[in-house]
């Protein structure tokens, strides 16, 4: 009986040790997976940037302190999308703007302004229809466009209006 009790204690001890070792391995694997996910997220290029009025005043233009002159505060050209969550055309261009934000991450910013949350900002720019897009080149006045544009029109505007590249000639 003593041998049986000793055997049971030994087996239970081994099972406990095995369980702790297995749990430790699972925790280490989970930690590795989380680190890999973090690294992948860090490598992902920047998408569109949602702005509040306060952020807009710091990053785009401080129209409250300088109401008569457009002085863009950014360090690279921008597209500003005035949108609303309920707007069908806004929903159509949202994925296009995300793609373009990643594609041109090093060259332009793509900002998004929710007109429902930032009513003062929308009013300041006279936004009456959405989507309204503001193309902001460096050192020049912005250009406004309304409605859902196709991706090729966005790319053409980015290349010619914002980045000042010559349009590709059709042959």
Q: Residue 165's pLDDT is what?
A: 86
Q: Residue 34's pLDDT is what?
A: 63
Q: In this model, does residue 10 exceed pLDDT 80?
A: no
Q: What is the pLDDT of residues 39-98, one digit of tens each?
A: 444 444 579 999 999 999 999 999 999 888 889 999 999 999 999 999 999 999 999 999
Q: Residue 147's pLDDT is what?
A: 93
Q: Is 158 among the residues known to form the active site?
A: no
- Listing DSSP states for 113-164 in one string gives EETTT-HHHHHHTT--SSSEEEEE-TTS--EEEESPPPHHHHHHHIIIIIS-
Q: Is 73 among the residues known to form the active site?
A: no
pTM of the model: 0.71
Please identify which of the residues 87, 101, 108, 122 carries the catalytic annotation. Answer: 87
Query: What number is the average pLDDT over the span 5-19?
Result: 51
Please identify which of the residues 51, 60, 80, 90 carries the catalytic annotation. Answer: 90
Range scoring the smallest mean pLDDT among 31-40, 55-64, 121-130, 149-158:
31-40
Q: Which of 90, 115, 111 is nearest to 162 (CA)?
A: 111
Q: Residue 40's pLDDT is what?
A: 46
State what percent of residues in the chain have pLDDT above 90.
Answer: 65
How far is C-alpha 94 from the chain's CA centre?
A: 11
- Average pLDDT score, the chain: 83
């Amino acid at each position: 009986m003593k041998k049986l009790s000793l055997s049971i204690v030994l087996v239970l001890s081994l099972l406990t040790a095995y369980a702790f070792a297995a749990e430790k391995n699972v925790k280490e694997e989970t930690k590795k997976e989380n680190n890999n996910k973090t690294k992948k997220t860090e490598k992902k290029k920047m998408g569109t940037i949602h702005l509040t009025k306060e952020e807009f005043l710091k990053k785009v233009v401080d129209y409250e302190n300088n109401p008569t002159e457009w002085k863009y505060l950014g360090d690279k050209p921008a597209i500003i999308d005035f949108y609303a969550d309920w707007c069908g055309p806004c929903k159509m261009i949202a994925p296009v703007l995300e793609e373009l934000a990643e594609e041109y991450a090093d060259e332009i910013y793509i900002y998004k302004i929710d007109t429902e949350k930032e009513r003062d900002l929308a009013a300041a720019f006279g936004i009456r229809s959405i989507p309204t897009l503001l193309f902001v080149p460096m050192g020049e006045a912005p250009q406004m466009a309304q409605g859902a544009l196709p991706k090729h029109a966005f790319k053409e505007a980015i290349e010619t209006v914002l980045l000042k590249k010559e349009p590709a000639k059709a042959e």
